Structure 1
């Protein structure tokens, strides 16, 4: 079993029971007042619960394809534990800015693996920027998707009102790129070479 599949199975095993158990989901999602009371585990557990089946499916579908694509590369550098650590770190890194911005907001809640999935996706894009991605069956170069995704996340985050943590998407993506570059600095020059050579 791949590590990516293991992460998907664990996430589904936690998320699915939460669909019909509001009490459980409230214990696991990210809620700043609870964190302030010492429930720091929420920095991690919120990444394993989802609002509904569509939310879970989209994140796990994306993780399945791109996690498998980068897993072997990451494991060759930092081992299996390192890859799991990278993913969990993505969950945490993506939510910290939201916590700092909303730490006194009792109405703020966040959940989902989107931050970690963005980390995986953008680490992949750094390594293979011209790979074709299919967005709603439309073929799009990975680097173009990254630019549009980033621009949309910034715009939508400033606009607000859609109950989506766009900040987590952005910070998760940034974390994925920075982590990959620290792990293998040669990815930076290779990325630029691929962009210029197109």
Structure 2
């Protein structure tokens, strides 16, 4: 396992455990629109290292552990870290943009960063198969498109506590940074690049039309 992957998982676990046992620490570093708009922008990063509970933490870190090797294999540890951190920032920025007037809005979790790694891996190896519910084999690109469409639905419905906006922002970050690092994919893997761009365009179209 890559050293940088171990470090990311280790820091996230330690930070999350501190948050589990220290409510004031949790509140200080969570994503909170009111605090961020008051100048506490560091929350846009630190919130990605906090989790709600053990299940939330395990799911994110296990998913990262499964997909990170693909990105590390193609790009190396340094670029993997860039994509991870960049996706975290993209997720936070999109969340801030979409919820800027909801001053009490709060969120935590590495989901945006992890989703960025998932979409980077899908672009790099679109023919890989994923196990839906760990049983049903599904092509990675179908999973990617379906997940983004589900995130749009979740953002519109607002009927759960999942940070769909951060997921979507992270996916956009992973998508754009990966293409910026490997622009040849636009010519060599044009269909997949277009397919994964469709939900992103749908999101911004709906946002512009005021339907989110």
Which TM-score applies when normalising by structure 1?
0.90
User: Which residue matches 1:153?
Assistant: 151
How far apart are the structure 1 equivalents of 2:182 and 2:39?
A: 36
Q: Secondary structure at the match of 1:19?
A: helix
What's the CA shift string for 1:52-84, capped at 9, x where partnerless?
111111110110011122113222xxx62x432
> Which deviates more, 16-25 or 122-131?
16-25
**Is 1:124–2:121 an aligned residue pair?**
yes
**What does 1:24-63 align with in structure 2 at a 5 Å threshold?**
24-63=25-64
Distance 1:194 1:26, change over 3 A: closer
Q: Secondary structure at the match of 2:107?
A: coil
**What does 1:1-198 align with in structure 2 at a 5 Å threshold?**
2=2, 3-75=4-76, 80=78, 82-136=79-133, 137-192=135-190
How far does residue 86 in structure 1 lie from its aligned partner after superposition? 2.3
How far apart are the structure 1 equivalents of 2:18 and 2:49?
A: 11
How far apart are the structure 1 equivalents of 2:127 and 2:186?
A: 15
- Report how many aligned residue pairs link the two structures: 191
How far does residue 27 in structure 1 lie from its aligned partner after superposition? 0.8
How far apart are the structure 1 equivalents of 2:57 and 2:106?
A: 17
Conservation of the 8 A alpha-carbon contact between 1:5 and 1:64: no
How far does residue 172 in structure 1 lie from its aligned partner after superposition? 0.8
How far does residue 190 in structure 1 lie from its aligned partner after superposition? 2.9
Gaps of 5+ in 1: none
Distance 1:38 1:130, change over 3 A: same
CA RMSD of superposed structures (Å): 1.8
Q: Secondary structure at the match of 2:26?
A: helix
What's the CA shift string for 1:132-156, capped at 9, x where partnerless?
1112121111011111111111111
Which TM-score applies when normalising by structure 2?
0.84
Conservation of the 8 A alpha-carbon contact between 1:180 and 1:187: no
